[in-house]
Structure 1
Amino acid sequence: MNPSALLIQSMPVLLTGTLLTIKFALLSMVFGLAAAVALALMGISANRWLVRAARVYVSVMRGTPLLVQIFVVYYGLPSLGISLEPTPAGVLALSANVAAYMSESMRGAILGIAQGQWLASYSLGLTRTQTLRYVVGPQALRLAVPSLSNSLISLIKDTSLVSVITVTELLRSAQEVIASTYQPLPLYLAAGAVYWVLCTVLEAVQRAYERKLALPQKH
């Protein structure tokens, strides 16, 4: 079968895998962002034990391969009596991993807000929690958008790793077609092209969103 015909025939399978890849990335981003905010708040807490716990978590997750983390969640947790299906196991591993990176982006953005913002809020009678929620948080999120967007782009590519636990995302879908056609080159190239298109679209959205959030230039 010539490559063009092969790709046309394989398109439904690859499209299904692509949709699952997007679903994986979005779910992992949502759960990861929630965990990242919690970790960032722990990291700036006055409680030294919370600070240390956040630092240890970030160090472990950033210092070990994502593939190992996926194996620990899917193959390791059953030894503790916790068995997960491939899809939730993959989402959990990806969320836990990306949370470590995004938490540092969020923590840095929060610390990047001028101290005067905190003092002004306190002088108005706002509590620390209210200051974070209404004053510092929105500004920090604006600053963190580029880093968070980059994390999502990386996450799109990292979803390919969950293929090792039989999740039929884009890469796994291509591998299944290859197993029956014995033509790896065009299918791997097609999968790579899809990843590239997804990342390119996200980069365009990121640039547009950054322009929208950009502060007015002084003249």
Structure 2
Amino acid sequence: MSTADVLTIFSGAWTTLLLSLAGIALGLPLGLGLALIRWARVPLLNPLVAVYVSLLRATPLVTLVLLLFFALPSAGISLGPVTAGLLALTLNTSAFNCEVWRAALLDLPKDQIEAAQSVGMGRVLRLRRIVLPQIARTALPGLINEMSLLIKLTPVLAVVGVVDITRAAVRIGAQTYEPLPPFLVALAIYMPIVFTLVSVQRWVERRMARREAAA
């Protein structure tokens, strides 16, 4: 492999990282909002969210990407490969994040909510001071796992022409007739990205544990 080949893979890694971070940044709060709607059983919205989550979790990401990229233009909505890929990642991860957040919400002791209501604490204040701090810790492992899966799913976007780490490695392997070296480089890039996510999870968990011990 030449230096240019390695740089091409790193360029693909940059695309992977940007799309993954953008998908995570959009999917986390969207998933939380969907989970809160289901937890609160908001009329009309709750069944719609349930259908949305069920459909998105059951739809393979590659099918979703192709649908957004090729089917939407027939409805007058044209999306570029990167935009379609980002939208697909966001929709996909928000559905899975919703279930992670909802599981944490269902695990929240109801007596704490009732106690907060009894002292006149408003809904927004309850959410900020009681609900979110507790469910964040409960949901963290599942959310980190979903983030890792999201990063590993980015090669699917190659079907619409997005050049990520894996797509770049495949191209170089086809050109040089030596597929192993570029894939080893790709693996060497993927590993620290996922390791960083796991390290962040452990750091946040330790920080939360120290706060609870000091309280």
Identity of aligned pairs, percent? 36
Do structure 1's residue 173 and structure 2's residue 168 form an aligned pair? yes
Structure 2 residue aligned with 1:127: 122
Structure 1 residue aligned with 2:157: 162
2: distance between equivalents of 1:152 and 1:81?
A: 32
How do 1:71-82 residues align onto structure 2 when only pairs under 5 Å count? 71-82=66-77
1:121 deviates by 1.2
1: distance between equivalents of 2:52 and 2:25?
A: 19
Aligned-residue RMSD, C-alpha? 1.9
1:8 deviates by 4.1
- 1:102 is aligned, of 97, 101, 104, to 97
Do structure 1's residue 17 and structure 2's residue 12 form an aligned pair? yes
Amino acid at match of 2:199: A
Q: Helix, strand or coil for the counterpart of 2:121? A: coil
2: distance between equivalents of 1:213 and 1:15?
A: 35
Q: Helix, strand or coil for the counterpart of 1:113? A: coil
Do structure 1's residue 149 and structure 2's residue 137 form an aligned pair? no
- 1:186 is aligned, of 156, 181, 193, to 181
User: Structure 1 regions of 5+ residues with no counterpart?
Assistant: 1-5
1: distance between equivalents of 2:190 and 2:80?
A: 25
Amino acid at match of 2:21: L
1:129 deviates by 3.1
List structure 1 segments (4+ residues) > 6 angstroms apart after TM superposition. none
More deviation, 7-16/149-158: 7-16
Amino acid at match of 2:162: V
Tell whether the 8 Å contact from 2:101 to 2:135 is kept in structure 1 after alignment: yes
Count matched residues.
Answer: 213
2: distance between equivalents of 1:37 and 1:14?
A: 34
1:48 deviates by 4.0
TM (normalized to structure 2)? 0.91
User: Structure 2 regions of 5+ residues with no counterpart?
Assistant: none
1:26-48 per-residue CA deviation (whole Å, 9 max, x = no partner) reads: 00001111210121011112334
Q: Helix, strand or coil for the counterpart of 2:40? A: coil
Tell whether the 8 Å contact from 1:7 to 1:187 is kept in structure 2 after alignment: no
Tell whether the 8 Å contact from 2:6 to 2:182 is kept in structure 1 after alignment: no
More deviation, 74-83/181-190: 181-190
2: distance between equivalents of 1:193 and 1:38?
A: 35
1: distance between equivalents of 2:82 and 2:146?
A: 20
Do structure 1's residue 37 and structure 2's residue 32 form an aligned pair? yes
2: distance between equivalents of 1:208 and 1:137?
A: 18
Structure 1 residue aligned with 2:199: 204
